[in-house]
Amino acid sequence: MPSTLVGLSPETTNNSIFASGLNNTDLRGLGSDRTLVLVNGRRFIAGAPGSGAVDLNNIPTAMVERIEITTGGASAVYGSDAVAGVVNIITKKEFDGVEI
């Protein structure tokens, strides 16, 4: 999606000892703290102490079925966490077999 930016790039900047290995999303360039991340319609925990940004590495990619993004008007429904928008990650309901 063109309006999505990398929220934090710890490979090139280590401003905080807690930032190592985080993968955040930033909608419309307003900051990772202003983008609400939901998993199956429910709020997900923050990835760094003192921050509201979610570490997307905590969600296994093998479990992701699809991702829904809402970029405007979400703060009226979800509050100030969703000023930039909402990323809703829908996980798979059933899984049989092995995936490599």
The pLDDT, as a whole number, for residue 39 is 94
For the chain, domains (ranges, CATH) are: 4-91 (2.170.130.10)
Confirm if 37 and 81 have CB atoms less than 8 A apart: no
Q: Name the band, by pLDDT with cuts 50, 70 and 90, for residue 12.
A: very low
Provide mean pLDDT across the span 32-51. Answer: 85
What whole-number distance in Å separates Cα of residue 9 and Cα of residue 64? 22
User: What one-character DSSP code corresponds to residue 78?
Assistant: H
CB proximity list for 96: less than 8 A, separation 6 or greater: none
Is pLDDT of 43 > 80? yes
Amino acid letter, 11: E
pLDDT tens-digit readout, 44-95 = 888 777 777 888 888 888 889 999 988 876 788 888 888 888 999 999 998 8
The pLDDT confidence band at residue 24, using thresholds 50, 70 and 90, is confident
Average pLDDT over residues 17-40: 79
Query: Phi then psi for 44, rounded to 5 degrees?
Result: -110, 155
Contact 45, 25 (CB under 8 A): no
Q: How confident is the model at residue 7 (pLDDT cuts 50, 70, 90)?
A: low
What the block records as the tokens of 18 is 């807690």
